[in-house]
Amino acid sequence: MAETSEVRSIFVTGIKNAHAMENQALSIIKPQLSRIENYPEVAAKLEQHYRETEGQVRRLEEVLDGLAEDRSALKDMALSLTGSMAALGHTVAGDEILKNSFANFAFENFEIAAYKSLISVGEHGGFSSFTSALSANLEEELAMARWLDDNLKSVTMKFVSLREAGQTAKV
């Protein structure tokens, strides 16, 4: 289908939302990285995904530039703030690593759904020149969600083992 103003509007809004979403992801990951002590495998994966997310933000900025659109600074700021607050909310939990793992898994799946939707709109609206950037972001999110899913049991059992040993299961 050819580009229409309505489909373009939907696509641009979705790209701006994705840009804000990835900035929110950065604000969720950063405080987690500063607090992880007993889970080096989680820290390494979060550091890797933080760098990937920075790349995702750049790809989305390239798409917005290609569409001659500005970023939504207000939306970026608002979602970054809520991401930071959500991450901080888990710091008081005795099982912070588990809460973060659950939240990260949920957020990754939210991002996956957002990119699948955006790719569909892009293909429908004739924005195929931008869908490869969105597909690259989607693949990274799928990989992170798989890693979180594959490692939830081991993170949980490490938490339980630390607690059973009388150690703090500090993130």
Dump pLDDT digits (tens) for 39-98. Answer: 999 999 999 999 999 999 999 999 999 999 987 655 545 555 554 445 544 444 578 899
Alpha helices in the chain (DSSP H): 5-35, 40-66, 73-89, 96-125, 128-164
Whole-number Å distance between alpha carbons of 120 and 50: 26
Report pTM.
0.86
Pick the residue with more confidence: 78 or 27? Answer: 27
Whole-number Å distance between alpha carbons of 58 and 153: 33
Q: State the chain's mean pLDDT as an integer.
A: 88
